[in-house]
Structure 1
């Protein structure tokens, strides 16, 4: 991958994250292809850009106010073809509070992205979001799920 493409992907994702934290979801959605797939950390699978936008708009006001704490960092960019990249990011959302609770938690996760270059612009074709903490704990004798 050309160094300029890698830098463009990093800049694109920084802008994309800023739009997410400011909850500008219509503009945020323009960074996805029309036929994009997005799998949420809860396992919901949206199969179009518009479904993804609508799903991410449906957030309680109490959560919207917390978005300012969210950050995302690009960990790795790998070339699949000159116009397709595999990107991994790590996100952090400290002091996240679910609606109706007084308890906060520091959430973290990983996102795997397939990005495609279309008409000179890098767009997200597929995204899979996975939480890396706060998941169900397995107790002794119940296995690890592997």
Structure 2
């Protein structure tokens, strides 16, 4: 059965959002991921692509989950939730991504990311209004564009 593309999903508490996102990821249905987001939500991925509404978030994730993330797993780790008042919260979660398909068809190594979700309480539960995904590059301070973007560290070793 195909999921309705206009479906809306919510979670009971902000702390449940990372698991709901990972569960949607494992369904391989980008529209299920999109259903966790408000109609006018924003999502910035690890390369800076910026999707500006639920249909764009859904379409981009559906493509990725059916191609280079088709056999991937996304495991939530350390999570921090901050209540911003009665109707808003921010959730930071470190995820481990495994099983990404490389352009040559091999399986790439595991990646660590931190996803930040800005949530808003609706009458039916919590939904994301924005998300930002950032790759974790251990031991590095910034990126440098020296003809090719690379992570660098300025500290003395």
Asked whether the two chains share a fold, i.e. TM above 0.5, the reply is: yes
Pair 1:137-2:137 in alignment: no
SS at 2:48's partner residue?
coil
The 3 A distance-change label for structure 1 pair 84 and 92 is same
Equivalence map 1:85-96=2 (5 Å): 85-96=89-100
SS at 2:151's partner residue?
coil
How far the C-alpha of 1:17 sits from its partner, in A, is 1.2
How far the C-alpha of 1:64 sits from its partner, in A, is 3.5
The 3 A distance-change label for structure 1 pair 66 and 116 is same
Tell me the C-alpha RMSD between the 2 structures: 2.5
Q: 1 CA distance for matches of 2:111 and 2:104? A: 17
Aligned to 1:82: 86
Pair 1:118-2:122 in alignment: yes
SS at 1:23's partner residue?
coil
Pair 1:40-2:19 in alignment: no
Question: What is the count of residue pairs matched by the alignment?
Answer: 135
Q: 1 CA distance for matches of 2:17 and 2:67? A: 27
The 3 A distance-change label for structure 1 pair 128 and 9 is same
TM-score, normalized by length of structure 1?
0.79
The 3 A distance-change label for structure 1 pair 75 and 102 is same
SS at 1:28's partner residue?
helix
Q: 2 CA distance for matches of 1:51 and 1:88? A: 22
Q: Unaligned 5+ residue runs, structure 2? A: 1-10, 144-149
Q: Unaligned 5+ residue runs, structure 1? A: 1-5
The 3 A distance-change label for structure 1 pair 7 and 75 is farther
